[in-house]
Structure 1
Amino acid sequence: MEPVTDQAFAAALYSDGDAGLDTGASLLAAAPAADAELVRRGEEFVRRAWERGWQPADVVRVVRRELDETAAGLAAGLIGSETARYERLPPRWQAQLDGLPDAPPRNRPDRFSYASAVLALYRLLLRLPAIEPVGPPPGTAPHALRLPPAHDEPRMLTRIRALLAKAEATGYPEEAEALTTKAQELMARHSIDEALLAARTHSKKEAPGACRIGVDAPYETAKAILLDAVAAANRCRAVWNSDLGFSTVVGFEPDLDAVELLYTSLLVQGTAAMTKAEAGQRAGGRKRTKAFRQSFLMAYAQRLGSRLAADTARVTAAAEAEHEAGPAGSGAPRLLPVLAARDLAVTDTAERMFPETTTTRVRGATDPDGWTHGTAAADRARMGGGGPELRGGRGKR
């Protein structure tokens, strides 16, 4: 006779609809002795996700998107127990684990409901497609892959994080503008310093890496454009997977950190400005719609692109002038060729990862008021971009 878990899986995991889930949940609810095996099988499903290119935050994000918060907590519990097996985790994994939600109590509110939620989660995990890996899976020998160095957060990033936190918290647009501009300038300078250091030491270990950043509904197109603008201004490439709700950002490690920090902060600032603008419109007797919010965020993202790029160009020009004015005959590498070489390395890496990317022209905004307010908010945040086009990657299936 088949074990209860096999019977439950046969009924629930390989069919669609609720009938199979109910059958499988009924079998598991009546068999407390199968609980340990149910967890072990779940850890296997999580391990297969690592082998297909997924990381902890990716799994929880897609589970939350496709199911609900309870399922996301169940996934987090499995991820925690599965990753506890490893002495060493890949870079960025610990930060992702620290941000996972708490796992709900087992067999609550009752055994049947709990088993039904677990089976729905396993059905989703079983069907996760293979995606482009952005780092090694846990348990991989470190020497077999080019891993970025494990280190504490650089002091510069800590300072940038503090500036952006102040920009998000202040109620004064002018102060937020100054803080955000200073953060971007520090990011650009930090990137330049890291590039020159690598060139001076002839570092062969440093190579472009990648990370995934969630691009969640609603208004995901505008958010993807914003992330693309932030990535481009920080010498990275972003490729959006609209089906799975994330963008993969390719770049050197210091620049990836900068992109993640700045995108998150600008999204917080933009959402707050949009809510305030919409409240003002309502106070004037005008009902705002989804079109207003979509147009607001599209304008905000577009406007930020050119302004972020201008900030980076200004810092780069100043650094080049400072570099050229240095002592003659010092043998220091010239800045612009160093940056050009890194740009080429990032482009080559992105094209190897995503050989089938497509560029899509997005639909224009339809609400003039939303566009006007979004542009003004971008000006206050001190950021802005050219005509919106997105690179989309076709994930492995």
Structure 2
Amino acid sequence: MGADKLDTVRKLLAKAEGAATPAEAEIYTAKAVELMARHGIDAALLAAADPGSDEIGGQRIAMDDPYSAGKARLLAWTAGALQCRAVLHTASGGRVAAVTVFGFASDRERVELLYTSLLLQATSQLVRLRPPWPGESVAAYRRSWLYGFADEVHRRLAEAESRARSRAEERAERAATGGGVTLVLADRSRRVERAYAEAFPRLGRARRATYSGSGFAHGAEAGRRADLGGAAVAGGRRRALGA
């Protein structure tokens, strides 16, 4: 993402954090999310005009305990919403040692920016959470909370990407270049899928994630409130990865 747009996203989210009301905060947050989604479309169109400027590749990000599987799911679902694929490198006992995010460089950059912020937000809340029912496992509750958080964040990001795509298509039609945006994005998706299959030819299908705690709904509510971009990125991007 260009430095000017990144700076604008940070400023919008800083305003969201300092807003007087939740409604005002949501306005700033929505603008930041929209800007990041629009940047993804712009980067795709620029890369189509300059082949080789936006390379496909992978980035491996370590996952730390506790809740490494939940953190990995948050990263993988963020990547999926932003036109990337993800590979979970599992370890013993249901742990996830690392996640490889695979896609175009500009999309991987967006994934890293968002995941870093989301992880900071999620972990700062997790340490304070306790189940509402006596006798329920704290760990199980937190795992289900993180599942709900990741699920809701994925939904919001996918909706933002869809809106940005529709608006770009409308602008292209008005400029008498209709079809270009759709074709470019479809071609990028096919190229990522081909490269992904070549890079991981023996990869099996992931098992459907399950959870036993009662925190899913509370996590989803936190995901609805999450800042999708994170003003804290400037000071702690690398520290947050796998934190």
Q: CA RMSD in A?
A: 3.0
Structure 1 residue 274, shift from structure 2 partner: 3.2
TM-score by length of 2: 0.78
Structure 1 residue 337, shift from structure 2 partner: 0.4
Name the CA shift for 1:285/1:296 in 2 (closer, same or farther; >3 Å): same
Task: Write the distance in 2 (CA, Å) between the matches of 1:238 and 1:165.
Answer: 30
Match of 1:380 among 202, 205, 225: 225
Structure 1 residue 241, shift from structure 2 partner: 1.0
Task: Write the distance in 2 (CA, Å) between the matches of 1:179 and 1:215.
Answer: 30
Which residue in 2 is equivalent to 1:237? Answer: 85
Which residue in 2 is equivalent to 1:194? Answer: 43
Count matched residues.
Answer: 224
- 1:10-36, CA deviations, whole angstroms, 9 ceiling, x for partnerless residues? xxxxxxxxxxxxxxxxxxxxxxxxxxx
Which residue in 1 is equivalent to 2:51? Answer: 203
Structure 1 residue 287, shift from structure 2 partner: 7.1
Identity across the alignment (%): 39
Task: Write the distance in 2 (CA, Å) between the matches of 1:286 and 1:173.
Answer: 34
Name the CA shift for 1:161/1:240 in 2 (closer, same or farther; >3 Å): farther
Name the CA shift for 1:275/1:165 in 2 (closer, same or farther; >3 Å): farther
- Which structure carries more relative contact order (alpha carbon 8 Å, separation 6+)? 2
Task: Write the distance in 2 (CA, Å) between the matches of 1:332 and 1:363.
Answer: 40
Residue segments in structure 2 that go unaligned for 5+ positions in a row: 229-243
The question of 1:340 aligning with 2:186 is answered yes
Task: Write the distance in 1 (CA, Å) between the matches of 2:39 and 2:172.
Answer: 15
Which residue in 2 is equivalent to 1:184? Answer: 33
Equivalent runs, 1:95-134 vs 2, <5 Å: none
Match of 1:355 among 173, 194, 201: 201
Which residue in 2 is equivalent to 1:262? Answer: 114
Contact kept in structure 2, 1:236 and 1:252, CA below 8 Å: yes
Name the CA shift for 1:171/1:222 in 2 (closer, same or farther; >3 Å): farther
Task: Write the distance in 1 (CA, Å) between the matches of 2:158 and 2:140.
Answer: 28
SS at match of 2:101: strand
Contact kept in structure 1, 2:12 and 2:32, CA below 8 Å: yes
Structure 1 residue 266, shift from structure 2 partner: 0.9
Structure 1 residue 163, shift from structure 2 partner: 4.4
The structure with the largest alpha-carbon Rg is 1
TM-score by length of 1: 0.50
SS at match of 1:359: coil
Range that drifts further, 174-183 or 185-194: 174-183
Residue segments in structure 1 that go unaligned for 5+ positions in a row: 1-151, 384-397
The question of 1:215 aligning with 2:58 is answered no
Contact kept in structure 2, 1:195 and 1:339, CA below 8 Å: yes
Task: Write the distance in 1 (CA, Å) between the matches of 2:41 and 2:81.
Answer: 13
Task: Write the distance in 2 (CA, Å) between the matches of 1:363 and 1:238.
Answer: 15
Structure 1 residue 288, shift from structure 2 partner: 5.8
